[in-house]
């Protein structure tokens, strides 16, 4: 698939310039002071971790790699055992899979073609353990999802709650969705998530309760399906909502800065808390509508606010924003995005700013 400039929200001229810049590598001055001349990829490595070894600004990984925008959209796969060489020439730097002076000179990294199933060995973008619980469970759902989700309506023998192995009766699973053995997630809408700028409710934090599997599709005049609980973390019962369980996706998006200026806010810290730190997931009040895509890296900061300057007749002055961390966007919807806070030197809180890094 060819990536068009319009798809990225930039002009053809900007796209061409970005591609030229990528192919030229980066200035040597932008390398990390401890950047190695070569590095052998190890099991457990991530793209984010490796980029931090070579760069002061990890989101510039595509430039160091010599990737054009189409390659950013279709990530390269890097495997344990692969050797990356840092080439420095005429004040510029880029990565190569060939040692300096090797047979092919300055061969750039390119997508690796492996046999079917082997790509599962490729390294991930960010540590899987940091976001595994959030990759396939609903975190925030909008009102439309709440209104249209399938729901548990009754349990056998007038029971109130169900545990693993118990059955339940469900309405709202359509005939085309009710394949025997299909898995669904049970949740209840919990705290409302508000846009910190407008106070408009943009969704509800989904309280994950467990998972069920369809045993019998819709039957009778009311279209009642039968499900069995395969996992029960909290009390599931009548009123619990159901969504199809999406396939697990391994995160291999290339870390990169947005091509346009993004100015979003943290609308929620997962878990219903007001403050958080590194390795926590946040919900942003912007998504595809703001040009966000998986792999985007955003800078986190706090509004400096205004104070009175006692040395200047108490004149109100604006303090600079406090830049304290980075967030990696890994899941995006029309008005909401989920991001993992990868670095934080300060506590983050709802209302903090997430912008294109500089």
Q: What is the pLDDT of residues 27-71, one digit of tens each?
A: 999 999 999 999 999 998 999 999 999 999 999 988 888 776 666
Same domain, 142 and 123: no
Of 189, 217, 244, which residue sits at a domain end?
244
Same domain, 184 and 162: yes
* Cα–Cα distance for residue pair 66/336, rounded to 1 Å: 31
Instruction: Look at residue 270 and tell me whether its pLDDT is greater than 60.
Output: yes
Same domain, 168 and 238: yes
Same domain, 11 and 104: yes
pLDDT score for 68: 67
**Beta-bridge mates of residue 277:** none
Same domain, 91 and 123: yes
Please indicate, yes or no, if residue 252 is contained in any of the structural domains.
no
Instruction: Look at residue 303 and tell me whether its pLDDT is greater than 90.
Output: no
Q: Quick one: average pLDDT of 271-290? A: 86
Same domain, 124 and 147: no
- The beta-strand segments (E) located in 10-107 are 26-27, 38-40, 83-89, 92-96
pLDDT score for 228: 96
| Higher local confidence (pLDDT), 6 or 192 | 192
pLDDT score for 151: 96
Of 131, 148, 178, which residue sits at a domain end?
131
Nearest CA-CA partner of 191 in 353, 355, 327, 350: 350
Question: pLDDT (tens digit, 9 = 90+) per residue, 92-103?
Answer: 998 887 887 664
Same domain, 267 and 291: yes
Token pair 């190695």 in the structure block, residue:
36
- What is the tally of structural domains in the chain? 3
**CATH code of the domain in which 334 resides:** 2.40.10.410
**Which of 7-11, 170-174, 198-202 is predicted with the least confidence, judged by mean pLDDT?**
7-11
Same domain, 269 and 234: no
Of 65, 100, 131, which residue sits at a domain end?
131
Instruction: Look at residue 15 and tell me whether its pLDDT is greater than 60.
Output: no
Same domain, 119 and 140: no
| Higher local confidence (pLDDT), 326 or 127 | 326
**pLDDT band for position 252 (50/70/90)?**
confident
For residue 230, what are the domain limits?
136-244
């Amino acid at each position: 698939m060819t990536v068009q400039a319009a798809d990225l929200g930039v002009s053809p001229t900007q796209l061409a310039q970005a591609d030229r810049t990528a192919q030229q590598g980066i200035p040597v001055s932008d390398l990390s002071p401890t950047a190695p001349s070569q590095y052998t990829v190890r099991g457990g490595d991530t793209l984010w971790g490796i980029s931090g070894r070579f760069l002061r600004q990890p989101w510039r990984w595509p430039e160091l790699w010599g990737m054009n925008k189409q390659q950013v959209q279709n990530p390269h796969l890097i495997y344990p055992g692969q050797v990356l060489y840092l080439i420095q020439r005429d004040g510029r730097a880029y990565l190569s899979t060939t040692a300096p002076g090797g047979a092919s000179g300055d061969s750039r990294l390119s997508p690796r073609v492996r046999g079917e199933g082997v790509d599962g060995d490729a390294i991930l973008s960010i540590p899987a353990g940091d976001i595994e619980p959030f990759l396939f469970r609903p975190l925030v759902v909008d009102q439309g999802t709440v209104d249209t989700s399938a729901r548990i309506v009754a349990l056998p023998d007038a029971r109130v709650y169900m545990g693993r192995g118990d059955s339940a009766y469900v309405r709202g699973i359509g005939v085309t969705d009710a394949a025997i053995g299909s898995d669904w997630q049970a949740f209840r809408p919990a705290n409302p998530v508000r846009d910190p700028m407008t106070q408009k409710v943009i969704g509800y934090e989904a309280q994950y309760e467990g998972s069920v599997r369809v045993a019998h599709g819709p039957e009778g005049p009311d279209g009642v399906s039968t499900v069995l609980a395969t996992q029960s973390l909290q009390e599931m019962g009548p009123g619990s909502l159901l969504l199809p369980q999406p396939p697990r996706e391994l995160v291999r998006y290339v870390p990169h800065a947005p091509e346009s200026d993004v100015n979003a806010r943290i609308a929620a810290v997962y878990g219903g808390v007001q403050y958080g730190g590194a390795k926590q997931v946040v919900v942003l009040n912007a998504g595809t509508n703001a040009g966000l895509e998986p792999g985007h890296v955003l800078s986190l900061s706090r509004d400096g606010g205004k104070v009175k300057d006692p040395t200047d007749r108490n004149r109100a002055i604006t303090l600079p924003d406090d830049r304290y961390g980075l967030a990696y966007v890994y899941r995006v919807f029309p008005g909401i995005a989920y991001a993992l806070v990868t670095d934080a030197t300060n506590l983050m809180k709802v209302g903090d700013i997430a912008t294109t890094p500089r």
